[in-house]
Chains A and B, each alone.
Chain A
Amino acid sequence: MFLIFADQDYKFPTPEIFAALLVLTILLTGSLNSYAIISPSGLAIAYSYAQLVAPITVLVFMIIIVKNVSIGFGGDLEKGTIQTYLGYPLSRNRILMARLLSSVGIALLLLVLIQFTVLFMLAPAFFISNLSMFSLVYLGVIGNALLITSVMLLIVSLTRQGTASVMTGLLLYLLFGFLPGMLTSYFSFNDSYAGLVAALIFNPVGSFQPYYWTANNTRHVLLWAPSFWNVVSVIATNYALTAIVTGFCFLYFSRRLEV
């Protein structure tokens, strides 16, 4: 079942885009290497490196999984191909799992392979000794993409329309991206960072940096400087939320979806 889905999701030019990204990232990071920020802790350095190599690849990763979920899975439901798949002697959970592994799993694997290859090439010794830090950073980097994907998956299952899920995905992507910045201003007036932390749960990559409030255009007031465990908590909560939404999706698909 997984092979059938993968066969549809990774037709030309998806694999070629990832291959091009690998080359592009290596070239870009080669020229930007001298700008790498050196910070005191392993996590901060890992985050700095990730900021150099991640943005384009993560954006493309996001586009590809949005395409796979809305056009791939949404198309299966909209066009009725799902009836053919549900006619196979497999449990519905296995079918959805195969769909997820194909839509998100392969793209995720390629993303991580590209990123870690480039990071290894940039700083082999540091990369190897801080692999856990890099892993944590990348969990944060892709956290919002996976949460958005799970919401899209639920919307596709409920509405059986890929278009609705694409619109929702794009809106959420923008919202989750801007929310922490907007809330920094809002919560600084209330002298509270709880709301900011809550917003970061939806975009956990933001939890790697400190937040300042600029008063009267001159005075920089530190609003929140996350500790290592703050970062871990935000990321863990983000993934718990993703797991809950995905769980709902599996429940609906296996027990309620009639086609």
Chain B
Amino acid sequence: MGLIGPNGAGKTTTIKLLLGLLRPNSGQVLVFGENPWNNPRVLKRIGVVQEKPKFPMNVPTLHYLSLVAGMYGRSLETASSALRDMGLKDAFQTPIGNLSAGMIQRFALAHALIHDPEIVIADEPTSNLDPQARAEILDLIIRTNKERGTTFLISSHLLSELSRVCETVSIIYRGKSVATGSLDELYQKFRTDVVRVNTNKPAELAEKVKKLPYVVEVEVTGDNISIRTESRRGNVLYQDVLTLAGQIDALLNGIESKGASLEELFRKITSTQRY
């Protein structure tokens, strides 16, 4: 499951509430039926990957993980196996502080999975990583989910990533969940169509198009007009653009329509909340 929202939307706060690091001002937080603030035992069922994982930096990876494994009643072998699974078999004796950002995040994943939790909560797990490291972490998440059946709750503002790994998404905006569902459901519910037009009279044509009742947004860039419509109105717009261009003798060099990306879907949902 993905938790999407812009910076400051409340993703990290939500995660901290789920982990019992913050106390709710009002209401109640229940994880597996327990309040994590009062009952940290529930954390046995949860693994955590922080945005910028904080570990004691001068301790070797295997040593630290074996201490953590011991705390969960697991063996040293569990620790070494967890590191091997995350591709860190050559870094057993490396102090955590000497690991690269990508390796620290993989170590954090091994750390989160050491006790075989039912769910792993990951707060922006790839935001500090380069594209290759980002892809590696996402691959590890997908593999772990498939092989172990571990559920992941991942917060991110990198929507392309969430569309790759998440089946369900909750969109958070200004501290509230504004939409929750599978990606398909959200696309169906909030989808907008976008039509791009290339013309010799972009400003005049844009003014005409703006007046159409089902048009949501018009943006002019050079000779191009990007027109966003309500769901499934792209074909109607196509006809209307031809008619309007004819009225002002505008030459249409190109016209194409496409469905919305996850980014556009996100913009659509949050913009409806804003006003």
- A residues engaging B (CB < 8 A)? 1, 3-4, 7-8, 11, 79-81, 83-84, 86-92, 258-259
Residue contact A258 to B21, C-beta cutoff 8 Å: yes
Which of A80, A81, A92, A258 is the one whose CB lies under 8 Å from B40? Answer: A92
**Least distance between A221 CB and chain B CB atoms (Å):** 56
Nearest-CB residue, chain A, relative to B108: A84
A-B contact pairs, 23 of them (CB 8 A): A3-B67, A3-B70, A7-B59, A8-B58, A8-B59, A80-B54, A81-B54, A81-B56, A83-B21, A83-B54, A84-B48, A84-B53, A86-B20, A87-B19, A87-B21, A87-B48, A88-B40, A88-B68, A89-B40, A89-B44, A90-B40, A92-B40, A258-B23
Residue contact A86 to B21, C-beta cutoff 8 Å: yes
In the bound complex, residues from chain A placing their C-beta under 8 Å from that of B22 are 258-259
* B140 part of interface (Cβ distance < 8 Å): no
* B176 part of interface (Cβ distance < 8 Å): no
Residue contact A84 to B54, C-beta cutoff 8 Å: yes
* B43 part of interface (Cβ distance < 8 Å): yes
Encoded as 1 (CB less than 8 Å from any A CB) or 0, chain B from 1 to 42 comes to 000000000000000100111110000000000000000111
Nearest-CB residue, chain B, relative to A80: B54
Nearest-CB residue, chain A, relative to B52: A80
With A8-B56, A89-B40, A91-B40 already in contact, 5 other A-B pairs whose C-beta atoms are closer than 8 Å: A3-B70, A4-B64, A7-B63, A83-B50, A258-B23
In the bound complex, residues from chain A placing their C-beta under 8 Å from that of B16 are 258-259
* B71 part of interface (Cβ distance < 8 Å): yes
The answer to whether residues A4 and B43 also contact, given A81-B55, A83-B50 and a CB cut-off of 8 A, is no
In whole angstroms, how far apart are the Cα atoms of A151 and B55 in the complex? 26
The answer to whether residues A89 and B43 also contact, given A3-B67, A258-B23 and a CB cut-off of 8 A, is yes
Question: How many interface residues does chain B have, given as a range?
Answer: 20 to 34
Encoded as 1 (CB less than 8 Å from any A CB) or 0, chain B from 52 to 88 comes to 1111101100011001101100000000000000000
Nearest-CB residue, chain A, relative to B23: A258
Which 9 pairs from chain A and chain B are nearest by CB? A89-B43, A89-B44, A81-B54, A87-B48, A80-B54, A258-B22, A8-B56, A4-B67, A259-B21
The answer to whether residues A89 and B50 also contact, given A3-B67, A4-B67, A81-B56 and a CB cut-off of 8 A, is no
In whole angstroms, how far apart are the Cα atoms of A8 and B54 in the complex? 14
In the bound complex, residues from chain A placing their C-beta under 8 Å from that of B43 are 87-89
In the bound complex, residues from chain B placing their C-beta under 8 Å from that of A4 are 56, 64, 67-68, 71
In the bound complex, residues from chain B placing their C-beta under 8 Å from that of A259 are 16, 21-22
**Least distance between A5 CB and chain B CB atoms (Å):** 9
In the bound complex, residues from chain B placing their C-beta under 8 Å from that of A80 are 52, 54
